[in-house]
Structure 1
Amino acid sequence: MHGSINDAGAPLTLEHISRRFGDTLALDDVSLSIAPGEIVCLVGQSGCGKSSLLRIISGVDTADSGRILLNGTEIAGANSFVAPEDRNIGFMFQDYALFPHLTVEENVAFGLRRLSRREASARAAEVIARIGIQALSGRYPHTLSGGEQQRVALARALAPKPVILLMDEPFSNLDRGLRERVRDETISTLRALGTTAILVTHDPEEALSVGDRVVLMQAGRVVQVGTGYDIYDHPNSLYAAEFLCPCNRVEGIYRDGRVETVLGTFPARLGLPEGGKAFACIRPQALCLSGPDEGLPALVVNRSFLGEIEELLVRIEGVADLLRLRTTSRIDVKPGEPIHLTIDAGGVLIFAAA
């Protein structure tokens, strides 16, 4: 569905969206189409344009060029602009933005002012039950935990039955364990309801685990779109590879379909001229401990125990930067001790230096 214009039946279609703030091009010709019931994650470095795109979709900000279609109807373009409150787009903010003077039930019903009081109350009760927060109905936001506030914000966003739900870093204020649990519950709820959603995150692990598709952005542009597996296993640029997983970048020379580096020679399909510069991007899990009579000699500089995995920083002669090794095995080595390493070529990605 990526990048196609006027996709039939698409809840949301973006066509050539651009936005400039002074000398900064925040969004640069972004086109994207979202399928019904699809959860799409926008991810990228801070300042890449993720939140700017959400604001334009919601109507809080306007694009300098391009247009937006909601269920096939133009809601923003050169000659049209539908006000945010008339777009039927749900929005979950990072800080939840609950009204402190309203109860949970009143917060959820707040966006239902076009319904009669009786209808609004019934719809609010229905969504509250669906989210499983009936016990919170009469309470005020300041008495709720962060996870409870997040669930209330979700119920309020879903109550008007939006065409699409926009979520801007909705789990970032929660502690890690709670964040994962609330995120899983939220995504399960959205899938059960068939809700179409866009989630903005700076966390590549969150994007890879949550999104039906991941949209990777850089400097206002969409640089790669695909499933989490697609873009992790086949990143189309050094930026994508290094953003999605910390890599050991080693410079090499392209010769006869291979890239020669101080760590070894790796097959590559780059179409570079002979002698052209390239980078081998070696994922930390591709570095493996070997016996003393095989592999590359290295020196352990630091060792970090991270629970599920262990990470070593090692120095190899001829390589300027320290290399990062990650493994689920327990390694009985200390900083300053020598080791030997082999490299799993399946964990090496090759890119042109340009």
Structure 2
Amino acid sequence: MMHGLAETTTGALTLEHIGRRFGETLALDDVSFSIRHGEIICLVGQSGCGKSSLLRIIAGVDTADSGRVLLGKTEVAGPDRFVEPEERNIGFVFQDYALFPHLTVEENVAFGLKKLPRHEARERAAAVIARIGIETLARRYPHMLSGGEQQRVALARALAPKPRILLMDEPFSNLDRGLRERVREETTATLRALGTTVIMVTHDPEEALSAGDRVVLMQKGRIVQIATGYEIYDRPNSLYAAEFFCPLNKLPGVYRNGRVETALGAFPAGLNLPEGGQALACIRPQAFRLAQPGEGMSARVVRCSFLGEIEQLAIKVEGVEGTLHMRTTERIEVKPGDDVRLVIEPGGVLAFPQA
């Protein structure tokens, strides 16, 4: 008999009011959300926001102080029930991959299949190895593998038992940047093809936006926003969410007639503020665009950095405190001290109440 089971229409996983405290630190504060079958969720936020603590509670290697965890309609953790980690059938890919050094790739992948008859475990391991495309590595040991190869082996080992959910804790952070992007794309394509339900922890905003069907942004143990990558980038619900995914030029202003009036002009904004309320206009660096002579505003170049595809300028505009930052894919033949004319694309401006 299962205690506290709830009939629910949820999909693969439901978290209800999860709380976790370590001494005086509230690591998780009333965290609730659900995940659909086959969905890839990216859990993102600054270090110490509670991402890894939440994974550990879902896996069952740590216990929440309050709240419930349900897999499908089955409660696996709550006030009156706790299902051991090995009984939850949840896969886990660790940041350091945690491969067994004394076992071959084939043996590593088969490690979690001990409940199966030996021939069936061997067949299952071989099928997963083929699916991940690491057949040529099957007889090698972990120390003979590159970082990208180790990551694929760790993925194969986690997928071999056909887990209900796969948890991934910073799975690409140990890889070089170029390799990281390629391995991430290959991994997410494989997981989507298999219909695997995934929660992936990352601290990389670009990774979260590109890999997840939805992004769960956390701050200090609480959920700030849950949305698709496009929604959370285009319509962040707070200054914290906006700044997490893109650097901003923040200009103080006054809210009047549905606009924020600043030293660089007035920008449309739908804010729940009284007339004359203090607001911030937040201009994304890519919202600046070179203007024709006589158009736009005058700015002086303070610094310029050529980043290959992108050029980044620090600019000074009269009447605005400090420097502003501009990013563009145009080739701008300028040097520090030069004057330029700029316009601002309104779509690149976000507005929030002044904190």
Q: Same fold (TM over 0.5)?
A: yes
**Structure 1 match to 2:202:** 201
Tell whether the 8 Å contact from 1:252 to 1:261 is kept in structure 2 after alignment: yes
Give how far 1:299 is off. 1.3
**Structure 2 match to 1:51:** 52
* Percent pairwise identity: 73
Aligned positions, number: 350
CA distance in 2: counterparts of 1:349 and 1:165, whole angstroms: 35
Tell whether the 8 Å contact from 1:90 to 1:165 is kept in structure 2 after alignment: yes
Superposed CA RMSD = 1.2
CA distance in 2: counterparts of 1:71 and 1:134, whole angstroms: 34
**Structure 2 match to 1:74:** 75
C-alpha distance 89-230 of structure 1, shift in aligned 2 (>3 A): same
Could you say what secondary structure the match of 2:241 adopts?
A: helix
Gaps of 5+ in 1: none
Tell whether the 8 Å contact from 1:256 to 1:274 is kept in structure 2 after alignment: yes
Give how far 1:231 is off. 0.8
**Structure 2 match to 1:260:** 261
**Structure 2 match to 1:230:** 231
CA distance in 1: counterparts of 2:65 and 2:10, whole angstroms: 26
CA distance in 1: counterparts of 2:312 and 2:34, whole angstroms: 40
Provide Cα deviations, 1:108-167, integer angstroms capped at 9, x if missing partner.
011111112221111111100111111111100000000100000000000000000000
Give how far 1:192 is off. 0.8
Q: Which amino acid aligns with 2:109?
A: V
Tell whether the 8 Å contact from 1:9 to 1:36 is kept in structure 2 after alignment: no
Give how far 1:318 is off. 2.4
Q: Which amino acid aligns with 2:329?
A: T
Could you say what secondary structure the match of 2:125 adopts?
A: helix
Could you say what secondary structure the match of 1:162 adopts?
A: coil
Tell whether the 8 Å contact from 1:6 to 1:13 is kept in structure 2 after alignment: no
Which structure 2 residues correspond to residues 185-224 of structure 1 after superposition, within 5 A? 185-224=186-225
**Structure 2 match to 1:295:** 296
**Structure 2 match to 1:312:** 313
Tell whether the 8 Å contact from 2:10 to 2:34 is kept in structure 1 after alignment: no
**TM-score, normalised relative to structure 1:** 0.97
Provide Cα deviations, 1:94-121, integer angstroms capped at 9, x if missing partner.
0000000000011001111111222111
Structure 1 stretches of 4+ with a deviation exceeding 6 A read: none
Give how far 1:291 is off. 2.7
Provide Cα deviations, 1:265-292, integer angstroms capped at 9, x if missing partner.
1111112112211100101111111133
**Structure 1 match to 2:28:** 27
Which structure 2 residues correspond to residues 1-354 of structure 1 after superposition, within 5 A? 7-354=8-355
CA distance in 1: counterparts of 2:34 and 2:191, whole angstroms: 19
Could you say what secondary structure the match of 1:61 adopts?
A: coil
**TM-score, normalised relative to structure 2:** 0.96
Gaps of 5+ in 2: 1-5
C-alpha distance 7-239 of structure 1, shift in aligned 2 (>3 A): farther
Tell whether the 8 Å contact from 2:10 to 2:35 is kept in structure 1 after alignment: no
Q: Which amino acid aligns with 1:102?
A: L
CA distance in 1: counterparts of 2:179 and 2:312, whole angstroms: 25
Tell whether the 8 Å contact from 1:297 to 1:338 is kept in structure 2 after alignment: yes
Provide Cα deviations, 1:228-250, integer angstroms capped at 9, x if missing partner.
11111111111111111111111
Of the structure 1 ranges 34-43 and 255-264, higher mean CA displacement relative to structure 2 is found in 255-264
CA distance in 2: counterparts of 1:108 and 1:321, whole angstroms: 55
Could you say what secondary structure the match of 1:209 adopts?
A: helix
CA distance in 2: counterparts of 1:271 and 1:147, whole angstroms: 48
